[in-house]
Structure 1
């Protein structure tokens, strides 16, 4: 037997009735996590709650992967040698919250502005249901990941041996979305999210009194020239058929009106769907920085860091997700033809270790993520938990 969620907020989806009974607890967990957000690698309280819940449901718990990551292992009632990984990220953003919610963050400058509190709660709902039913053959590995927001949490868990210790045959991840209507799922084959680099460039010269610029090697005008030159990289070195972005996001130079500074610095990000394009852009950043610095008698210090891999979904896994989603949400609420997005996600690194898919689930929020007024509707919780649960029961179906 199944029941539908509130038809006003979430028309259509068929939620597993057992999961529907969890809704009060799931909402309570989500609001508590939202009220107490923790940023990357500091998810001590959050990971403690996750571990306690998993353990209370009889799930084998392992901690310390990626510092604050948590892994839960659950075996089904039926014999099977296949394993499926399900992942949720746990970290918040270092930004203020302006939602006015009764469960708003109690920590100034910390906010679940991307909905990772929601993702964590969804996976907990799935874990409880599967622990209570165990109607599958094989193993489920629940991966609660720290530090997704640019700090390399996925790579940290991998470096600590998460897939060596808990190998999986497939892996799936979910993200909430304001780009789709409530309960609309999007999962697309191929490359869907860009890889990302962060870069810092410091031009170093010689400081002097501003009244005597001839005594200085001024990095400020050279920095202006550098900013303009970097903007030619994509337009003149990358094919128009290969989308790429280079954005300067920070400029720093000097601290007084009458002092020419010794150094000036800029920082920014590069996004592209191809590793070859990313490498071309890296080489051009270094070359342009060095040559402009030399032309002004300066030196350039360039640091480029690979932060996110290109995220590429496995075609067969995409169809698996879409098929399950059509059963839960209805055909008209499932899309497999979304355009690529220049955002990034370190779930991409998990996909290098096992085939799988990353998909999004729409909710009623209208303010985009990473905005101080971003809000996710609690109605997404049982729907997301049902999707994950049905994925497991479909892929690890007992003979």
Structure 2
């Protein structure tokens, strides 16, 4: 396998300057969910130029390229990358910094797209496999459920697969390292909004006449910290975090606001824990509102399910990683990740696996984390990620 690994890496190395150019071009022109028209057009044009059959417009801006192997075979697999960026202002300094104000590729989807394109090009030029591969480029992974919408748009009816695979970069994991696990891997992701309503009033002369929404909000923010510590069983995992607070007007310092809003996220791995957290968020909001004579309106949306990998396909993906990187560079029982991924929808629909690829460690031992203004995908792993996809295709279709 060493000679095969070297041949794959050498073949892909020849494309590396092009992959870097594609990645950085996409980085300069970030597009958020369902707006990825330019990115999708780049993907479609490249796939067609390599002789790959292309279908566009799946779930609005999704693209699927289909490549048939040179050898006969009925098995079919899907390899998936995501296209969208985030609403974050990028830290200046790179010569390929975002040119779109307030938007950037802060999660590495530009790199994911480039890696899958690299694999598509390599396999199109060396289709020595049996069956077919669907290269799935998904829109709107960041909170908008593009994976679910692709499925609803007939993804797996139009492009049947026996297995589907995803991959994500992991800051803090050394370059050359791969990690996966069987069963629950990434968390379910929910968002919630609580709107406290009261009378408001004059903060000086009329405080005793007001129902104060800020008190209800303050008590609620403290109270929800008990959900994980006192309601969720100690052997289970959940996270409840506040991400947004709003009340009153900055210039109205002597006005008690009649409305206060708090928003946040919850993470979990099991349906019973997820439902418990949802129930307690609502109960605590109502109780805190009632305590201070206010009303509470609660909205709770279960966005993404937990990402649960399948045992057989995880073994295949781990075998591909070992063939490429060696046993010592592959973590087969990675820790649970409380981040979420809407690839979970695809794993609910079809068997498959999910792999983390190391994005590197900074000199001080830290890493530029996902969803932060100074994050950047590491171009050093483009060839390695493409090679993983190629090895996975051979594991599945040889």
TM-score range (shorter-chain normalised) is over 0.9
State the alpha-carbon separation in 2 of the partners of residues 368 and 280 from structure 1.
30
Give deviations 1:308-353, integer Å, cap 9, x for gaps: 2101111121111111111111111111121111111111111011
State the alpha-carbon separation in 1 of the partners of residues 6 and 235 from structure 2.
38
Asked whether 1:165 is paired with 2:158, we answer yes
Which of 169, 179, 189 aligns to 2:182? It is 189
Question: After the TM superposition, which parts of structure 1 deviate over 6 Å for at least 4 consecutive aligned residues?
Answer: 1-4
1:1-399 aligned at under 5 Å gives the runs: 15-98=8-91, 100-210=93-203, 211-255=205-249, 256-365=252-361, 366-397=367-398
Give the TM-score taking structure 2 as reference length. 0.94
Contact 2:81–2:166 (Cα < 8 Å) also in 1: yes
State the alpha-carbon separation in 1 of the partners of residues 395 and 186 from structure 2.
26
State the alpha-carbon separation in 1 of the partners of residues 379 and 307 from structure 2.
27
For residue 76 of structure 1, report the CA deviation from its aligned partner.
1.4
Contact 2:319–2:395 (Cα < 8 Å) also in 1: no
Contact 1:309–1:349 (Cα < 8 Å) also in 2: yes
State the alpha-carbon separation in 2 of the partners of residues 14 and 135 from structure 1.
14
For residue 102 of structure 1, report the CA deviation from its aligned partner.
1.6
**Residue 7 (structure 1) aligns with:** none
Give deviations 1:339-372, integer Å, cap 9, x for gaps: 1111111111110111111111113353222222
Give the TM-score taking structure 1 as reference length. 0.93
Give deviations 1:22-71, integer Å, cap 9, x for gaps: 11211111111111111111111101101111111121111222211111
SS at match of 1:51: helix
Give deviations 1:129-188, integer Å, cap 9, x for gaps: 122222111121111011111121111211211112112111111111122111111111
**What value does the CA root-mean-square deviation take over the aligned residues?**
1.8
- Of the structure 1 ranges 41-50 and 18-27, higher mean CA displacement relative to structure 2 is found in 18-27
**Residue 364 (structure 2) aligns with:** none
SS at match of 2:348: coil
- Of the structure 1 ranges 173-182 and 277-286, higher mean CA displacement relative to structure 2 is found in 173-182
For residue 2 of structure 1, report the CA deviation from its aligned partner.
8.1
Contact 2:141–2:341 (Cα < 8 Å) also in 1: yes
State the alpha-carbon separation in 1 of the partners of residues 112 and 258 from structure 2.
46
SS at match of 2:394: helix
SS at match of 1:379: helix
Pair 22,280 (structure 1): closer, same or farther in 2 beyond 3 Å: same
Q: Return 5+ residue gaps in structure 1 as ranges.
A: 5-11
Contact 1:54–1:61 (Cα < 8 Å) also in 2: yes
State the alpha-carbon separation in 2 of the partners of residues 228 and 332 from structure 1.
44
- Of the structure 1 ranges 202-211 and 303-312, higher mean CA displacement relative to structure 2 is found in 202-211
State the alpha-carbon separation in 2 of the partners of residues 330 and 370 from structure 1.
30
SS at match of 1:343: coil
For residue 238 of structure 1, report the CA deviation from its aligned partner.
0.7
Contact 2:323–2:391 (Cα < 8 Å) also in 1: no
